[in-house]
Structure 1
Amino acid sequence: MRMLARQRCHTALAGLVTLATAAVLCVSATASAVAADTWTEVGSDRADPLSESQGLTSVEVPAGNPNRYTGVGTIPIDVYSRGWNHVGDPDASYNGYYIEPYQADGGTAKMFRVQAPGGAWSEYVHTLNSGEALNNSWVTISPSGSWMVNGEYGTMNRFLVFPTPGVNPSTSPSVNLPQASTITLDHAVRDVQGCDFVTATQLLCSSDDPAGTLFGITKPLLQIDLSAEPNGTSNVTGHVTALRQLPLRSGCTGTFEAEGIDYDRRTGTLRVIVVSPGSCVLTDSMTYKFTKS
């Protein structure tokens, strides 16, 4: 009888441990879900396929200036003629500085085209590091202004941090723009087309992932929570969460393309460009608007 009682007690304790473990996992999962923001679609505008098909940014300074966009039709002829034939998602979130990322087919460098608040343009070239991808899809400026984050296309576990060209006093158009540090991600991301700072330690990113094997959905909106604000002296880590699938609606069937992203800190509005498949790229490509709920 005592042995049977011990067995029953052991079974009961094991059951309690299992329940307690399940409760802890449930609480952890709930905490994780609470930590991830919910972004609700609130509207959309048509995205022009020539001038609004790659990226977008809200202009905080000077006040009242219209939003800016990039596309195949916004590349200046003199820039294109020098081989910089692709422009990515820009940013203009620091004191009126505006930055566009460029790449050249088969090149060994990336270019960041910077417009100062006074209107003058300058170009900062970064020679690729060993193992660095050529693609130059997006840039975003940290709220402090001193550091610029940039990503590589493909399946990646990192973002790159540079001194912000034109803003950080260590930069000059006449010398190579060096990589300063790295953001190491705790989960792989694929085909990120744009990221923007929401806070000093949080990014929202649009992914054009066509496979859906990383997060269980294609074309996800990603949230990256950083261990610290990026800087030029030490690497930081980023926790990746897939928040939702971006809208994929069109009069045509086929492959959509998620493009640039923008978060307007003045209004709390998030905008993401999604290019429609086939001939509908001309008619119903959209810039979708979201607010946090």
Structure 2
Amino acid sequence: MRAASLLALTTAALLTATGVATAHEARWRQTGHTTAENRVSGEGLTTLRLPGHAPELVYRNGATIPQPLKDEGWGHVGDPDSLRGYVFDVYQDTVTPTPTKKMYLVTKPDGTTTEFVHPLLPDEPAPNANAQVAATPDGQWLVSGPLGEIDRLYVSPTPFLNPRGPKTAGDLPVAARIHLDHHIRSAQGCDFVSSTRLVCATSDPYNDLYPTNLQLLQIDLPRPVNGHDVTAKVREISQVPLVSTCTGTFTPEGVDYDAGVLRVEVVPPAPCNTVTDVYSFERR
């Protein structure tokens, strides 16, 4: 899932990157920066809130995949989301040459897990079938999408939280699609910042779809997700932050929004990629 992002970081590019939070269209300002060790980070992040516990940032990485899941063929985990103490993970089949299924792993607040394996529909791309998932603020729907160039996202009822959703292991069906008025490429992480707005980070290495590569994108829906098809408007906020003492390939990954704070995960070039950069933003 880590597409080539940038071959060289120039001074001009760095200046452009640091403007991500001050671009007029963004209405976000950078309020913080931290790092996480790449042994546990680099594929996604989410804020977990459990009753009686302080909020916890949960990271995902290939090393965090439980061995039993690897044995089943789930060799890649994407950007997760969390709501009401539940954690929603998305997995890709990396064993089958042409995958025919994808998997959602739901972890309940008590720590028990349930696998929901979904047979791919004809319009669901097989490669990188699960790149990221975002729960709607009301907890009723999960919105997910694959890597590659796409023109839609997929909506499924949230297991355990939506009466229409499954409560035992099995298929997690597609209930609707969010059709995009502008293609996006390699969306590595997305999260809802309101009931009608998603923010996504891409590892798109090109600038043919938007003015810059490695975009931070805003997806606006005409109404909250309700299980019916809808067409959303997509626009670029700016380029993600690209700040490092190393030059080479940057890879944006997970996106998290919690309590008014937007976090964007960016893996810096080698050899600086021993850590993952996490940038925090708040609305201006």
The interval holding the TM-score normalised by the smaller chain is: 0.7 to 0.9
- Aligned match of 1:70: 60
Shift of 1:239: 0.8
- Aligned match of 1:286: 277
| Structure label with greater radius of gyration | 1
- In structure 1, list runs of 5 or more residues that go unmatched: 1-32
- Contact 1:196/1:263 (8 A) holds in 2: yes
Percent sequence identity over matched residues? 42
Shift of 1:289: 1.0
* CA shift digits 1:126-158 (9 cap, x unpaired): 110013123211111111211100012111111
- Aligned match of 2:12: none
- Aligned match of 1:47: 36
- Contact 1:156/1:188 (8 A) holds in 2: yes
| Residues in 1 aligned to 2:124 and 2:110: alpha-carbon distance in whole angstroms | 33
* 2:39 alignment partner, SS class: coil
| Residues in 1 aligned to 2:34 and 2:63: alpha-carbon distance in whole angstroms | 19
| Residues in 2 aligned to 1:246 and 1:69: alpha-carbon distance in whole angstroms | 19
- Aligned match of 1:202: 197
- Aligned match of 1:8: none
Question: Which residue of 255, 267, 270 maps to 1:275?
Answer: 267
| Residues in 2 aligned to 1:166 and 1:122: alpha-carbon distance in whole angstroms | 10
Calculate the aligned-residue CA RMSD, in Å. Answer: 1.6
Residue 82 of structure 1 pairs with residue 77 of structure 2: no
- Aligned match of 1:224: 219
* CA shift digits 1:245-282 (9 cap, x unpaired): 11112222111100000011x2x111111001222211
- Aligned match of 1:127: 119
- Aligned match of 2:240: 246
- In structure 2, list runs of 5 or more residues that go unmatched: 1-22
| Residues in 1 aligned to 2:113 and 2:253: alpha-carbon distance in whole angstroms | 25
* 1:247 alignment partner, SS class: coil
Task: Write the letter of the residue equivalent to 1:230.
Answer: V
* CA shift digits 1:99-137 (9 cap, x unpaired): 110011232111111111222111111110013123211
| Residues in 2 aligned to 1:203 and 1:58: alpha-carbon distance in whole angstroms | 16
* CA shift digits 1:197-251 (9 cap, x unpaired): 111111111111111211110111111110111122x211111110111111222
Task: Write the letter of the residue equivalent to 1:286.
Answer: D
Residue 158 of structure 1 pairs with residue 149 of structure 2: no
Question: Which residue of 87, 106, 127 maps to 1:98?
Answer: 87
Task: Write the letter of the residue equivalent to 1:69.
Answer: Y
Whose strand proportion is higher, 1 or 2? 2
| Residues in 2 aligned to 1:40 and 1:251: alpha-carbon distance in whole angstroms | 23
- TM-score, normalised relative to structure 1: 0.83
Shift of 1:290: 1.1
| Residues in 2 aligned to 1:229 and 1:60: alpha-carbon distance in whole angstroms | 23
Q: How many residues align?
A: 255
Which moves more between the two structures, 120-129 or 165-174? 165-174
Shift of 1:167: 2.1
Task: Write the letter of the residue equivalent to 2:62.
Answer: V
Residues 290/174 of structure 1: CA separation in 2 closer, same or farther (3 Å cut)? closer
| Residues in 1 aligned to 2:170 and 2:56: alpha-carbon distance in whole angstroms | 32
Residues 174/290 of structure 1: CA separation in 2 closer, same or farther (3 Å cut)? closer
Question: Which residue of 111, 128, 136 maps to 2:103?
Answer: 111
Shift of 1:166: 2.9
| Residues in 2 aligned to 1:193 and 1:46: alpha-carbon distance in whole angstroms | 18
- Contact 2:49/2:56 (8 A) holds in 1: no
Greater relative contact order structure (CA < 8 Å, 6+ sep):
2
- Aligned match of 1:192: 187
- TM-score, normalised relative to structure 2: 0.85
